[in-house]
Homo-oligomer: A and B are copies of this chain.
Amino acid sequence: MSSQTTAAESSSQPRYAAIKAHIRAQIESGEWPAHFRVPSENQLAQDFGVSRMTARRALSELTDENVLIRSQGLGTFVAEPVPAGSLLEVRNIADEIAARGHSYAARILKLEQTVAHTEVAVALGLTEGSVVFHSIIVHLDNGLPIQFEERYTSPTLVPEYLQQDFTAATPNEYLTRVAPLTEVDTTVEAIGADEAVGKALEIKAGTACLQIWRRTKSSAGTVSFARLVHPGNRYRLGAQIRF
């Protein structure tokens, strides 16, 4: 078949690239706004004179790039642009979400007592094997997971931790209310989501995320040690830092 060769001759780039470019152009020009339903795989295949699998590839790659959202049985839609916002100063992500006019919800994956392994013990200033509270919570913005929070909390400083209803108030909010925090130690890094995080945040493993390690201290000692993971594609998170 010479159709393949023809495409290569005319532009020296794969055919699916042309479809991607076309879709991008439509979105950038404002022709296709957010939530706009893009033509189906079959329609695009027909329009561009390619097979369904080629059109599908263009749609799939744009989905990976967070330009489109697909769902089986429904169709393919233009994704909402990622909002910008501050991050590291955020004390209560529920407020942050409410401030955007979105609905907040939480999914509690774990809330239990366990024993501290080395890393956690060091961070909390406890001896290895001490009892600690361990919680894993996923925070949702309009139903979409935007923060994975894994937290280890000192049972001596916050004894009532496990009795809290964290669907109402976030752990961070609760801690700032209960213990007067004097210091927050934060580390930021960019990582690829591991399997567990990917599953919880409903993103593909390997999707790059912003990971924040936060150690909150009160005058009595280290209260809590948290790992916060944000999918880089759902939120654009900023942080002002001064040296």
Contacts and interface: CB of A to CB of B under 8 A. Distances in A.
A187 B240 contact: yes
A67 to B, nearest CB: 7
Q: How many copies, total?
A: 2
Interface string A161-195: 00000000000000000000001111111111000
Contacts of A186: 240-243
A187 B84 contact: no
A20 B94 CA distance: 36
Interface residues of A, number: 39
Given A232-B208, A233-B208, A188 B189 contact: no
A184 B239 CA distance: 14
A106 interface: no
A160 interface: no
Contact of A65 (B185, B189, B204, B236): B204
A238 interface: yes
A199 to B, nearest CB: 13
Interface of A: 61, 64-67, 82, 84, 87-89, 183-192, 204-210, 230, 232-233, 235-243
